[in-house]
Structure 1
Amino acid sequence: MKQINWVKKLTSRKLWTAVASFVSMMILATGGAENTATQVTALIMAGASVIAYIIGEGLTDAANIEGEVGIEVQEDTEE
């Protein structure tokens, strides 16, 4: 069975658009106001942007650390 790449899923704009759409439609279907649905959708998309930024920065930092470790190992083996 394939492993799910959660990082890719959580940073997907398509996923967050689908979630925001579903939630806003549920608000409207249960009798909520259109204004409320719009505000909730905006909050979901803002949260998605923050999540994508945090994950992206974490991946960048991890790649930089791995690159620095690799350089140090190469320097030690040349001596």
Structure 2
Amino acid sequence: MHKIDWISKLTSRKWWTSIISFVTLMIIAFGGTESTATKVASIIMAGAVVIGYTIGEGLVDKQGANGDIVIDASEVATLTTEEEEDK
């Protein structure tokens, strides 16, 4: 059986757009107003932003804990120069 990559799904804008479309169309199909559908879509999108940000930050933190962070050499040179100037 194929395993679903939930991290990829939860951070995908296309997936959230399809969820919002489905939910808002269902609201309208069952007699809800356009205003209600818009409010629900806004709530779903706000939740998607929070979920995507949280997962993204978690992945960055995990890479940092594993020592997988890449430091740009130009940043190191700048920091070293600044430290020398402070002396």
TM over 0.5: yes
Tell me if 1:16 matches 2:16: yes
CA-based RMSD: 1.2
Any idea what SS the aligned residue of 1:67 has? coil
Number of aligned positions between the proteins: 68
User: Displacement, 1:4?
Assistant: 1.9
Say which structure, 1 or 2, has more relative contact order (CA 8 Å, 6+ apart): 1
Runs (4+) of structure 1 moved beyond 6 Å?
none
Percent identity for Structure 1 against Structure 2: 57
Which residue does 1:76 correspond to in 2?
none
TM-score scaled by structure 1? Answer: 0.81
Q: TM-score if structure 2 supplies the norm length?
A: 0.74
CA distance in 2, matches of 1:67, 1:4: 27
User: Does 2:77 align with 1:51?
Assistant: no
Larger Rg: 2
- Please list, as runs of the form range in 1=range in 2, the aligned pairs for 1:1-79 lying within 5 A after superposition: 1-67=1-67
Where in structure 1 are there 5+ consecutive unaligned residues?
A: 69-79
